[in-house]
Amino acid sequence: MSYDLMVFEVSKTPKTQEEFLEWYDNQTEWEEDHDYEDPEITSSALREWFMEMIQTFPQMNGPFAPEDDEIKDESYLTDYSIGKDMIYAGFAWSLADEAYDLVRELSEKYKVGFFDVSGNGDIIYPDGTIFSHNEEEDPEDEYEYSYDGTTVYFAVKKFNSDFKLLEDMYRDDYYPDFLVDKIADEIKKVISFLEDGTHTYAEIQERFDIMTIAINDLEEEFDENDSEIETVARESIGAAVDYILEWFDIGIDTEEAIGERDW
């Protein structure tokens, strides 16, 4: 799971929070007619932002990606998805603070907008306009952990609807969308379960086990469509589970939650 931030061309984006989030959803469908790796297709301000960013956070793939012998620290390699009006960047979580500071600094320098995708959801415009995440959706007392001496989990908030399930799989043509949809459906069943009241950790683990078994059962169907649940898929599913556990503050390790997988 990457730490994601986005910058955008202000002249091309909506000026209200609701409209911006709809625009963002459309942008992250990745349907523009280009490969999302070449900065030549984006605006001059975003291109200048990108060219300075890669001095610190090199491009992982694309025309400006360094050769293997030029890479000093692989953790700084960054996945840039470059659109006509925005650039979406996925950083290593270990570098989140450094990435945030530099992206914000350069967004101000080049007068582009900033969206804190993985953080607090703030949308910041160069003129000082800020749309903040609605704090009323996150009550202070979100969880209770004791019930008749048994450790339990109690959810009083819904899952983050802005989180893009299996985004890397949807962006990769190697994985048929209809099969990615089936995996996403199994993950959504876990989310619905966690949103629905009080559960013991054993019950939560059982629900994740059901998810994993269902995904295991899809392997043959992937094979029939000349695909496989391999590296990108494993990482994408793992990132989703990790985010779910973190969002609901569940004290289960990601690998433990996924359990006996065949992929």
**CA gap 186, 130 in Å, rounded:** 36
- How confident is the model at residue 26, as a pLDDT? 95
- How confident is the model at residue 230, as a pLDDT? 93
Residue with tokens 């994740």: 208
User: What does the pLDDT average to over 156-183?
Assistant: 90
Residue with tokens 């819904």: 158
Lowest mean pLDDT among 49-53, 134-138, 243-247: 134-138
Q: Is 44 helix (H, G, I), strand (E, B) or coil?
A: helix
- How confident is the model at residue 12, as a pLDDT? 92
- How confident is the model at residue 196, as a pLDDT? 76
Task: Say which residue, 46 or 133, is predicted with more confidence.
Answer: 46
Q: Is 99 helix (H, G, I), strand (E, B) or coil?
A: helix
Measured CA distances, 57 to 50, 77, 184 (Å): 10, 6, 31
Share of the chain above pLDDT 90, in %: 71
